[in-house]
Amino acid sequence: MSKEKKQGKGHRQCKRCGTHRALIRSYNIGLCRRCFREVAEELGFRKFS
Ligand SMILES: [Zn+2]
């Protein structure tokens, strides 16, 4: 068994750009604000204003 899968709180980074800043924890997406916005637009989310 591997323990590498264990991800504690606070040690997250954007899975898109890898930054640790401005991560959105409210959603379980693992993206920073910047990437979230870009992804959201790609997905058709336009409610983010
Ligand atoms: Zn990012």
Six-digit token pair at 2?
């591997």
Q: How far from chain centre, in Å, is Cα 34?
A: 9
Q: Distance from the CA of 15 to the center of ligand 1, in angstroms?
A: 7
- Single-letter amino acid, residue 46: R
CA distance 44 to 24: 18
In this structure, is residue 35 part of a structural domain? Answer: yes
> What pTM was estimated for this model as a whole?
0.59
In this structure, is residue 47 part of a structural domain? Answer: yes
Domain with 25 in it: 13-49
In this structure, is residue 29 part of a structural domain? Answer: yes
Q: Distance from the CA of 37 to the center of ligand 1, in angstroms?
A: 9
- pLDDT tens figures, 1-40: 655 555 555 567 899 999 998 998 776 788 999 998 898 8
Question: Shortest CA distance to 21 belongs to which of 29, 33, 9?
Answer: 33
β-sheet bridge partners, residue 23: 32
CATH number for the domain spanning 44: value is: 4.10.830.10
Q: Distance from the CA of 4 to the center of ligand 1, in angstroms?
A: 22
